[in-house]
Structure 1
Amino acid sequence: MTIEEKKARLLRLSEKVTEEWLKEQMDYCIQKIEQNMDRFGTKFPSACATNGRYRIKENDDWTNGFWTGMLWLAYEWTGKEKFLIIAMENIQSFKERLDTHFVLDHHDIGFLYSLSAGAGYKVTMNDLCREEMLAAADVLLARYQERGSFIQAWGKYGDPKEYRLIIDSLINLPLLFEATDLSGNTCYREAALKHYQTVLQTVIREDATTYHTYYFDPETGNPSYGATHQGHSDNSIWARGQSWAILGIPLNQNFLPTPIPENYGAIVDVFIEHLPEDLVPYWDFDFNDQNPSDKDSSALAIAICGLLEASINQAYPQAKLLAQGMIYQLGEYYSTKDMENNEGLLLHGVYAHAEGKGIDEPNLWGDYFYLQALMCLLNPNWTRYL
């Protein structure tokens, strides 16, 4: 199929997305979260499932905010106090993690705290959540590298082997923009803006495809080279990386007076053009229906949220309708609604293919972004956490 044929098919599928269909999807998701909450208690699920079940862990991974974000969504949708109680227990856990700087030597502070304390503040206006957001923003700001104008992705600050950023970082920046709004201190916004501009100039290639990660010279800060960590090769298109760009660019533009970058439409086109027959991407675009591999449903869930964000600013033609067509495919063919013993919301995700991690399994970010997309479609006035 050509890209135009794929868009036409998505637009036809979008006609099947009724309010009744969306509510059915949301209801099954909330029921699943409620069941999982009873098992997880005040602890956290692992980043990805094994045979459809999440391991129960302490608050020690970059993905824990996705679980707390789902609890906040469940509370907002149902009004059930039990979701609020566990979400606030999680908030205390995240505070303790900040106090001890436990497994926080990475840039995913936004994933952790925008979806926990940030969401909690938007829902409850609780002062603890506000203070936690600002403290988390300080941790993220401390990773900003003046030489190169970027936030270091992983490892100890200044480690020359880790002098790089990754495409995922776009989703962490709203924490900094919001910290300026809350505190009046412009240093957060300034760092976020500089990092955003650096991402646009480096990790996004001239042909609107994306590297996973981009290195800089630690001595001069000059851009060095693009590479991958989770993609098929340094020069391939990692599907989830492309979807992070689809979401991350309009997400950050919400805080800026400037128009959306001119290549945004081309970035979306690359994603849609590489979708296979069933419109759910393989984990890397080196693969297709003639040369198949494992699917990554989470990449599509992220892209759906990105298109819904883009539709607000009219950044891509028919973005909302295309997103509806995509979510229909996930809800009809990739959801766990008829699988009582599977704890995920979406089947057929991939965490890290090269490491053999979370292949053909649910994962927390896929679950979260699917739930967020449902909420956005059911309630266009809903205040987003990210």
Structure 2
Amino acid sequence: MRKISLLAAGLLSMMSWGSNAGMAQKVKKDKALLQQIDKNLSNGVAQYRVLKQNTPAGRFPKTWHSNKQSAETSTSEWWCSGFYPGTLLYLYKATGDTASYNEALLRLQSLEKEQYNTTTHDLGFMMFCSFGNANYVQPREKYKQILINSAKSLASRFNPVTGCIKSWDSKPGDFLVIIDNMMNLELLFWATHVTGDSSFYQIAVTHANTTMKNHFRHDYSSYHVVNYNAETGAVKEKKTAQGNADSSAWARGQAWGLYGYTVMYRETHDRKYLDQANHIASFILNHPNMPADKIPYWDFNAPGIPYALRDASAASVMASAFLELSKYVPAKTGSGYVHTAETMLRGLSSSHYQATGGANGGYMIQHCVGHMPNKTEIDVPLTYADYYFVEAMLRYKAL
């Protein structure tokens, strides 16, 4: 296998915490927001003590049903399993709360076996958000090997004919790829940096290029799902699973694209990825249905706007992405992105979106939408909303 030299940047630049590379800019941060963020992080520690009580041993938080006052949890195979330990590690890094750290280590034991899971494309979410953060907080050779094995498992789903990593297994001949998969490429870049094996890098770049070609419309909104012919690589259909319609812009899908192509630029310094991220940002920010508080409706084309449900999880992902993207663009554009993230963080910090006092099952963020067409996870907390909310707050403090 061809080797490439390791980059000089430390592991922090490979992590979801984001790189400090790019255009250095002075940012005037909002002191009131910084004070609120410190309160939010302390609240997160308290909330996650309740969430721990609602999560049986060997299980992982999934959501909370307020009408039943009951928790829904998952096994480690669920695509969200890495977010709970990942958030705990973020909270530990931010506050020094050792109970959060110890709980994260305990849950990692149940997650460890997923390093060999070749049936999912979500190993970036599952393993990099968890073991990746654990390795940053306290580097261990064991964590490093788990992450390398996870990258190998993810790479096994790549098809050179389609030029993509398969997302969902389906009927023979179909090759389904979702925009969410852009979020899992960071694990592959990390693996190249650590091992020197450029095959991981090439898979990530090829997947991103194919996605950029086929997933996006002329206005830079994205489809959720593209179905390729597994034998020829030709596009068979473009559709949605979790959005309002095949022609609509599912909010969290736009967030995944924004975040994913920002990471692509960080890791490659290829201008086309920065352009793509900026185009996606422009679509989001200039859309007539984007609310003033920047907490998007669950779909930009959702029926019933302005009475349609919002998706706080999409806002959390967007806020984190905008803060990283702000570092790679000219000052005026960057300050606009920071301002947008500040608006999102203020909204998410409000009593409407952030739960306190042990409410919401222990989750921090409420009012998210998971899968509206499937009528599941509607107006509930979702574990990845918390993860990216905390990540965005840490990124803001680090600006």
Gaps of 5+ in 2: 1-28
Partner deviation per Cα, 1:100-125 (whole Å, 9 max, x = no partner): x3xx5121010001011111111111
Q: What pairs up with 1:1-386 in 2 under 5 angstroms?
A: 15=30, 17-40=32-55, 42-51=57-66, 53-99=70-116, 101=117, 104-155=118-169, 159-161=172-174, 163-259=175-271, 260-272=273-285, 273=287, 274-287=289-302, 290=305, 292-314=307-329, 316-317=333-334, 318-342=336-360, 343-380=362-399
Which stretch shifts more, 265-274 or 109-118? 265-274
After TM superposition, give the deviation of residue 36 of structure 1 in Å. Answer: 1.7
Partner deviation per Cα, 1:322-364 (whole Å, 9 max, x = no partner): 1111110111143333453312211110110011111011101
Partner deviation per Cα, 1:164-216 (whole Å, 9 max, x = no partner): 21111111001001001111111111101100111111111121111001111
8 Å CA contact 1:118, 1:129 repeated in 2: yes
After TM superposition, give the deviation of residue 285 of structure 1 in Å. Answer: 1.2
Aligned residue identity for 1:21: Q
Q: Distance in 2 between matches of 1:216 and 1:164?
A: 6
After TM superposition, give the deviation of residue 256 of structure 1 in Å. Answer: 0.3
8 Å CA contact 1:282, 1:292 repeated in 2: no
8 Å CA contact 1:53, 1:344 repeated in 2: no
Partner deviation per Cα, 1:259-298 (whole Å, 9 max, x = no partner): 2443433311221223125432111111377553221111
Q: Distance in 2 between matches of 1:297 and 1:191?
A: 31
Aligned residue identity for 1:25: N
Q: Distance in 2 between matches of 1:189 and 1:277?
A: 39
Q: Distance in 1 between matches of 2:104 and 2:172?
A: 35
Partner deviation per Cα, 1:57-98 (whole Å, 9 max, x = no partner): 332310011101011112212223322222222222222233
8 Å CA contact 2:115, 2:149 repeated in 1: yes
Alignment CA distance shift 1:31-1:339 (3 Å): closer
Q: Distance in 2 between matches of 1:95 and 1:307?
A: 31
After TM superposition, give the deviation of residue 39 of structure 1 in Å. Answer: 3.9
8 Å CA contact 2:86, 2:387 repeated in 1: yes
Match of 1:6 in 2: none
Q: Distance in 2 between matches of 1:266 and 1:288?
A: 25
- Following TM superposition, the consecutive aligned residue runs of length 4 or more in structure 1 with deviations greater than 4 angstroms are 14-17, 288-291
Match of 1:3 in 2: none
Any idea what SS the aligned residue of 1:40 has?
A: coil
Aligned residue identity for 1:143: R
Normalising by structure 2, we get a TM-score of 0.85
Partner deviation per Cα, 1:33-68 (whole Å, 9 max, x = no partner): 123224426433343321175324332310011101
8 Å CA contact 1:48, 1:358 repeated in 2: yes
Alignment CA distance shift 1:185-1:278 (3 Å): closer
Q: Distance in 2 between matches of 1:332 and 1:74?
A: 19
Q: Distance in 1 between matches of 2:49 and 2:252?
A: 28
Partner deviation per Cα, 1:113-164 (whole Å, 9 max, x = no partner): 10111111111111111010000001100000111110000127x9423x02
Q: Distance in 2 between matches of 1:150 and 1:82?
A: 40
Q: Distance in 2 between matches of 1:115 and 1:68?
A: 8
Number of residue pairs matched? 362
8 Å CA contact 1:230, 1:354 repeated in 2: yes
Alignment CA distance shift 1:292-1:144 (3 Å): same
Percent identical among aligned pairs is: 23
8 Å CA contact 1:23, 1:378 repeated in 2: no
Match of 2:26 in 1: none
Normalising by structure 1, we get a TM-score of 0.88
RMSD over aligned Cα, in angstroms?
A: 2.1
Aligned residue identity for 1:95: E
Any idea what SS the aligned residue of 1:22 has?
A: helix
Q: Distance in 2 between matches of 1:283 and 1:190?
A: 33
Any idea what SS the aligned residue of 1:49 has?
A: strand
Q: Distance in 1 between matches of 2:55 and 2:61?
A: 10
Gaps of 5+ in 1: 1-13, 381-386
Q: Distance in 1 between matches of 2:137 and 2:314?
A: 27
